[in-house]
């Protein structure tokens, strides 16, 4: 119990000089009293004198005596009567009485012992015998006082200890071999038992996974752990258990603080959830950045390659033209010049497509597109596209069909761009049949899904992803290979996605893209 | 040098490059015929038929890397399936390749990657020289 400091009371027996005890000497003869006093003086105790039974009784009211020496023969009230009255009082019931008498009579002895005498001393008094007998009672009294004081101190310590236990913020128990010996009221409340029901109970009924320290084990020290605790009604809760063992009378007693950890567990769960969410977001963001970096790198390679090609051709052919000189025929020179012109214009066309792509895929365009979202009538968008593609439609004899398209939240200029690219794509990749392009819309999961269906050449499923890359062509048309890459960039700017479906070559293709209608 | 005219399988979508390649081989005094395919899809379709009776086994397979509908690596993969042409030298022709693409092409069975230089003289000696070496069965490693 080293945790509980106890202030030692003043005059603690083990350190201070032995306290003097009181002895009462009763005799009607002053000379006898004087003689007794002289004999007992060397014991250095407090001696109180009485000349009669009445005086003795009076002194017994006010003082506790280690022993009373009582003359048997006294006038008025004799020693036996006085002893009977002393005995009858609660305060002095156990005070040892030694009778002093001149007569050795059995009758007197029996009467004296009946009245609680502890001894008889016969006159004339032998000083050594008197001293040694009284010294025994002095010692007895001292020991009794010491015991009483120690008992009081123990009571005080235990009271303090219980007060500490009660004042503790946690439920607390002290167990001996897993049996609860002490508990505080917080323990009663936490587990829903009365104090009586708790004391003597096996703590494993409250904490099933409790592991008792094996007897004779070395000090396991203070341990802290999270265990499941069970209330009297059978419900359970997570508990923070702090165990502090101490050795007492050869056994390990364990002081245990038990705290309901439900709130803590909930907080931990919440923090774990928040951390997981944060990690997920970081991972997502990292993946997006990585994707965007990879896409950018691929784009840079593709762009540098496709832009270098026409320049290389122009350079080679201009050198060839210069070095071929007069020996080359006019046709040959015209053909070389034609190649140079073709590739110079192709470079110009590529750069234009690239600029357009960069405009829609620039991050600044994202905010601009989001900010400028308004209600757009898609029917009007298609009317605009038809006007823009007038020449291509007329030359190919294409038919555009749409009906009852919705008014959606979007950016008109971007929608025109997507529909125009998809429809032009459908017309360019036509089969032998005259092209028919059908535009439809349906709402699904909070987004408009638009489809642009053609009856053209169709696309092999292995190119479904490929066609949306930059500078990607499926045949030797004059295109820059940027149309679908631009559509993809625009649709992604509008928060949607784009994909293509086709039953294969010759079966036509259907391009679909989504435009979310939730405002972020 | 072989006496008969050699047959070259060429996947190349840029007509200007086809003309330059023809000029380079001509300057090596090699008699040749070219089967030219202008998309990866067409070239794949053709390469699997080589030596099957529908079309002859070529003496050399030259593949541009960046083509409509795919790239030279796709054609090499298809060619690897055709045992009739397993001994025919194959080379990738390109203005440049990413290192990873170059490595992949060699793994897929290309004898080498021939770059298309911007200078006409270099184009003639690089492409012409390597084509001649490949046709002699010398591979195309080392200086041209």
State the nearest Cα–Cα gap between B42 and chain A, in angstroms. 9
Partner B, chain A 445-504, Cβ-Cβ below 8 Å: 460, 463, 466, 473-476, 481
Closest listed residue to residue A116, CA positions, set A100, A140, A97, A135: A97
Three-state SS string across A304-350, please?
Answer: HHHHHHHHHHHHHHHHHHHHHHHHCCHHHHHHHHHHHHHHHHHHHHH
Closest listed residue to residue A177, CA positions, set A195, A143, A204: A204
Distance CA A324, CA A225 (A): 92
> Above 0.95 for ipTM, yes or no?
no
Question: Which of A315, A343, A476 shows the shortest C-beta gap to B39?
Answer: A476
Q: Helix axis angle, B120-136 relative to B15-26, nearest 10°?
A: 60
As a whole number, mean pLDDT of residues A377-397 equals: 90
Ranges A44-48, A209-213, A511-515: which has the least confidence: A209-213
Give the per-residue pLDDT at A454: 92
Pick the residue from chain A with its C-alpha nearest to B39: A475
A504 neighbors A458 (Cβ within 8 angstroms): yes
| Mean pLDDT of chain A, nearest integer | 84
Percent of chain A at pLDDT > 70 equals 89
State the nearest Cα–Cα gap between B13 and chain A, in angstroms. 7
As a whole number, mean pLDDT of residues A21-32 equals: 92
Q: Which residues contact A118 (CB under 8 A, 6 or more apart)?
A: A96, A97, A98, A137
DSSP run (H or E) holding A48:
strand A46-50
> Chain A partners of B41 at a C-beta cutoff of 8 Å?
460, 474
**pLDDT of A79-138, one tens digit each?**
889 998 998 888 888 888 998 888 778 888 888 888 777 788 888 888 898 899 899 888
Note whether A347 contacts B: Cβ–Cβ < 8 A.
no
Sequence-ordered alpha helix ranges (H) in chain B: 15-26, 40-47, 72-80, 99-107, 120-136
Distance CA A405, CA A396 (A): 25
Residue that wins the pLDDT comparison between A72 and A217: A72
Torsion angle of the four alpha carbons B49, B53, B57, B63, in this order, in degrees rounded to the nearest 10: -20
As a whole number, mean pLDDT of residues A195-219 equals: 80
* pLDDT at B26 > cutoff 90: yes
> Chain B partners of A294 at a C-beta cutoff of 8 Å?
none
Across the interface, whether the CB atoms of B119 and A319 are under 8 A apart is answered yes
How do beta strands B70-71 and A374-377 pair? Answer: unpaired
B68 neighbors B40 (Cβ within 8 angstroms): yes
Distance CA B86, CA B76 (A): 11
**pLDDT of A232-265, one tens digit each?**
999 999 999 998 888 877 777 888 999 999 998 9
> Chain A partners of B121 at a C-beta cutoff of 8 Å?
319
Across the interface, whether the CB atoms of A301 and B98 are under 8 A apart is answered yes
Across the interface, whether the CB atoms of A460 and B68 are under 8 A apart is answered no
Partner B, chain A 244-303, Cβ-Cβ below 8 Å: 301
CA angle B2, B8, B12 (to 5 degrees): 155
Greatest alpha-carbon pair distance for chain B in Å reads: 40
**pLDDT of A144-197, one tens digit each?**
888 989 999 999 988 888 888 888 889 999 998 889 998 999 999 999 999 899
Residue that wins the pLDDT comparison between A359 and A2: A359
Instruction: List for chain B the helix, strand, coil content (%; round to 5).
Output: 40, 20, 40
Closest listed residue to residue A195, CA positions, set A215, A172, A213: A172
* pLDDT at A77 > cutoff 80: yes
* pLDDT at A14 > cutoff 70: no
Give me A317's structure tokens: 């052919």
Neighbour-count burial of A384, counting CB atoms closer than 10 A to its CB (0-12 exposed, 13-18 middle, 19+ buried):
middle
Closest listed residue to residue A33, CA positions, set A57, A51, A45, A19: A51
Tokens 């009462």 belong to residue: A24
A498 neighbors A483 (Cβ within 8 angstroms): no
A24 neighbors A56 (Cβ within 8 angstroms): yes
Across the interface, whether the CB atoms of A475 and B39 are under 8 A apart is answered yes
Note whether B38 contacts A: Cβ–Cβ < 8 A.
yes
Across the interface, whether the CB atoms of B95 and A308 are under 8 A apart is answered yes
Give the per-residue pLDDT at A364: 54
The conformation of residue A273, written as its DSSP 8-state character, comes to: H
As a whole number, mean pLDDT of residues A196-217 equals: 81
Closest listed residue to residue B64, CA positions, set B122, B11, B102, B16: B11
> Chain B partners of A299 at a C-beta cutoff of 8 Å?
none
As a whole number, mean pLDDT of residues B71-76 equals: 91
Distance CA A52, CA B87 (A): 146
């Amino acid at each position: 119990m080293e945790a509980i400091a106890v202030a030692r009371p003043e005059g603690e027996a083990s350190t201070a000089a032995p306290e003097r005890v009181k002895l009462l000497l009763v005799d009607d003869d002053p000379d006898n009293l004087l003689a007794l006093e002289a004999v007992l003086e060397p014991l250095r105790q407090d001696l109180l004198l009485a000349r009669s039974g009445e005086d003795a009784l009076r002194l017994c009211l006010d003082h506790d005596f280690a022993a009373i020496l009582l003359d048997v023969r006294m006038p008025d009230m004799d020693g036996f009567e006085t002893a009977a009255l002393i005995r009858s009082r609660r305060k002095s019931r156990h005070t040892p009485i030694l009778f002093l008498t001149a007569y050795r009579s059995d009758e007197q002895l029996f009467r004296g012992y009946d009245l609680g005498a502890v001894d008889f001393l016969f006159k004339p008094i032998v000083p050594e015998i008197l001293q040694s007998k009284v010294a025994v009672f002095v010692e007895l009294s001292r020991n009794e006082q010491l015991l009483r004081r120690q008992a009081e101190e123990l009571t005080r310590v235990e009271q303090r200890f219980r007060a500490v236990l009660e004042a503790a913020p946690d439920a607390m128990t002290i167990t001996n071999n897993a049996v609860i010996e002490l508990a505080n009221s917080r323990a009663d409340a936490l587990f829903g038992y009365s104090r009586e029901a708790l004391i003597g109970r096996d703590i494993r009924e409250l904490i099933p996974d409790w592991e008792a320290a094996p007897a004779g084990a070395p000090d396991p020290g203070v341990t802290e752990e999270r265990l499941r605790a069970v209330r009297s009604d059978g419900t359970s809760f997570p508990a923070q258990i702090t165990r502090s063992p101490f050795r007492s009378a050869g056994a390990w007693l364990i002081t245990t603080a038990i705290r309901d950890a439900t709130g803590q567990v909930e907080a931990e769960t919440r923090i774990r959830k928040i951390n997981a969410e944060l990690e997920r977001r970081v991972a997502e963001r990292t993946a997006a950045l990585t994707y965007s970096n990879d896409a950018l790198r691929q784009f840079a390679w593709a762009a540098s390659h496709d832009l270098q090609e026409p320049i290389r051709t122009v350079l080679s052919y201009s050198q060839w033209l210069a070095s071929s000189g007069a020996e080359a025929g006019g046709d040959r020179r015209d053909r070389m010049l034609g190649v140079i012109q073709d590739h110079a214009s192709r470079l110009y066309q590529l750069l234009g497509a690239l600029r357009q792509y960069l405009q829609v895929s620039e991050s600044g365009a994202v905010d601009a597109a989001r900010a400028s979202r308004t209600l757009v009538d898609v029917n009007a968008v298609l009317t605009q596209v038809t006007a823009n593609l007038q020449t291509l439609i007329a030359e190919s004899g294409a038919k555009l069909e749409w009906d009852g398209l919705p008014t959606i939240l979007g950016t008109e200029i971007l929608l025109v761009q997507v529909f125009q690219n998809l429809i032009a794509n459908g017309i360019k990749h036509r089969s032998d049949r005259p092209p028919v392009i059908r535009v439809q819309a349906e709402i699904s999961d909070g987004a408009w899904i638009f489809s642009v269906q053609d009856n053209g050449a169709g696309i092999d499923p292995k190119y479904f992803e490929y066609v949306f890359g930059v500078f990607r062509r499926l045949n030797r048309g004059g295109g820059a290979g940027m149309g679908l890459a631009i559509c993809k960039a625009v649709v992604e700017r509008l928060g949607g996605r784009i994909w293509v479906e086709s039953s294969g070559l010759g079966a036509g293709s259907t391009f679909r893209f989504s435009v979310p209608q939730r405002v972020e | 040098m072989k006496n008969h005219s050699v047959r070259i399988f060429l996947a190349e979508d840029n007509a200007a490059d086809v003309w330059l390649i023809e000029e380079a081989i001509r300057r090596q005094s090699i008699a040749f015929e070219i089967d030219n395919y202008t998309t990866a899809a067409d070239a794949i379709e053709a390469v699997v038929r080589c030596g099957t009776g529908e079309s002859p086994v070529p003496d050399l397979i030259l593949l541009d890397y960046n083509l409509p509908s795919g790239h030279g690596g796709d054609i090499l993969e298809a060619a690897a399936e055709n045992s009739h042409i397993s001994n025919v030298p194959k080379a990738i022709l390109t203005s440049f390749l990413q290192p990873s693409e170059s490595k992949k092409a060699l793994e897929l069975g290309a004898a080498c990657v021939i770059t298309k230089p911007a200078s006409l003289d270099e184009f003639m000696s690089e492409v012409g020289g390597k084509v001649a070496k490949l046709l002699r069965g010398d591979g195309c490693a080392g200086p041209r």
